[in-house]
Amino acid sequence: MSPVQDHPLRYQLANELHARPFPSMQAPSTAAYVAFKQAEMAANRDRNADLEHLHKLLDRHGAQHPQPGATHYYGQIGKHWLKWEQHTEFVTYTIFSEGVEERPFDPRAFDPFPQDWLEEAPGQRVTSILVRVEQRGSEGEVQTRLREWFVPESLAVSSVLEDAAIMAGDFRIDQHGHMRFALFASPSTGEHRMGRIVQRLCEIETYKSMSMLGFARVRSMGAQLGALDTRLTELVESMSVGTSKAEDTLDALLEISAELETLSAQSSFRFGATWAYEAIVTERIAALREERFHGRQTFREFMVRRYQPAMRTVRSAQDRLDAMSARGVRAANLLRTRVDVERSAQNQNLLESMDKRADLQLRLQRTVEGLSVVAISYYAVSLASYLLYPLEAPTGFSKGLLTALITVPVVVLVWASVRRLRRAVEK
């Protein structure tokens, strides 16, 4: 019996599902998180630059390097733990530290990331987050901390995973450039569950920030879309009233269509990425199974009120761009029909003109044939006369009479010959 042949990627694909485990955390502890993205063409960036930047950080702490071509890493650097992940457009670093600073959200939690190393990052900072994890005290103590740490008007708070913890954040950037999130863990919450909550908090913020790039793209192209919409509308109106030539209209329509296709090509990846990131944000929030905490808005409600309008704006802009492209196609079809009708009329006029010319040519040909019969008959009669002149004496007919006698037969013979020749040519 021959052995079973495995697909060459079987183990690699199976292990990929387990390659990025959630971290383990306990209260109290701190997570410092940062995500970098190149400004342009991030999906096609040199990914070796991401690895080289990771190696520089690991060398600072004397830690081992990951395998060549790795897309994730989890290991200890000094007294901290580092988690590194490489994504399609961005790369993330998370430092997990035991204990918390006396000062809430102290920026010293980012000290494991040297300042010069941060400045040399191959990309720009998309987001950075400080997560403070504490043991859950009384509800009064939790509410006091929430009032002291966050801006009340934008604060989102909820109890998650069947009251395993209370998570809170106001989605505002503090004076040190970081987002702040707090987690108050119940005594029975395990380390792995705590790590999953922190990981999902970081993912919610990261994918929210990445999807908002689509909103920024829509804002930047809004004026151009408006101008193109106006030009396209005016062009269609001019087509309906017939105030411009088809050629001029076609040139203007081609210019507008080219600009629309350029906008669509430049925005298609960003729009697609926006919907993928939005779906991840929604899924991560749903996975936390939120419950309301003392009448505060939940993370889901915050996203519905503050985040979803931006996503609807992106979707509206994409629909508008698609609709304008479709209008351009319909206008091109209408213009093509108009041009075809005009060309058909021109062709009909041309055919009528050709018919007239053919008729004139036929008349001219018949006139020429008549003249040809006269000319040929004249020369034929002359030649025949010379042949009959010797018969003048024997017959007693004069030259004039002989010429008159042969004129009619010669003319009839020449006319018949020309007519037969014309019929042969026409066949």
| Per-residue pLDDT tens digits for 290-320 | 999 989 999 999 999 999 999 999 999 999 9
Element (H, E) at 111: none
Residues in CB range of 234: below 8 A, 6 or more apart: none
Tokens representing 101?
Answer: 């600073």
One DSSP character per residue, 141-168 reads: HHHHHHHHHS-GGG-EEEEETTTTEEEE
Per-residue pLDDT band for 332 (boundaries 50, 70, 90) equals: confident
Residue 129 phi, psi dihedral angles, 5° rounding: -135, 140
Cα dihedral across residues 282, 283, 287, 289: positive or negative: positive
Paired residues of 85 in beta bridges: 72, 92
Q: What is the pLDDT confidence band of residue 270, given thresholds at 50, 70 and 90?
A: very high
Q: Mean pLDDT in the chain?
A: 86
If you ran DSSP here, which 8-state letter would residue 138 be given?
Answer: -
Percent of the chain whose pLDDT exceeds 70: 86
What confidence tens digit (pLDDT) does each residue in 12-65 have?
A: 777 766 666 678 888 899 999 999 999 888 989 999 999 999 999 999 999 999
Instruction: Examine the pLDDT at 399 and tell me if it is beyond 70.
Output: no
Rounded to an integer, what distance in angstroms lies between the CA atom of residue 67 and that of residue 418?
99
Per-residue confidence (pLDDT) for residue 371, from 0 to 100: 64
Helix runs in 157-243, H state only: 191-241
Alpha-carbon span 321 to 315, nearest angstrom? 10
Phi, psi angles (nearest 5°) of residue 402: -60, -45
* Domain extent listing, the chain: 20-211, 219-342, 368-426
pTM score:
0.78
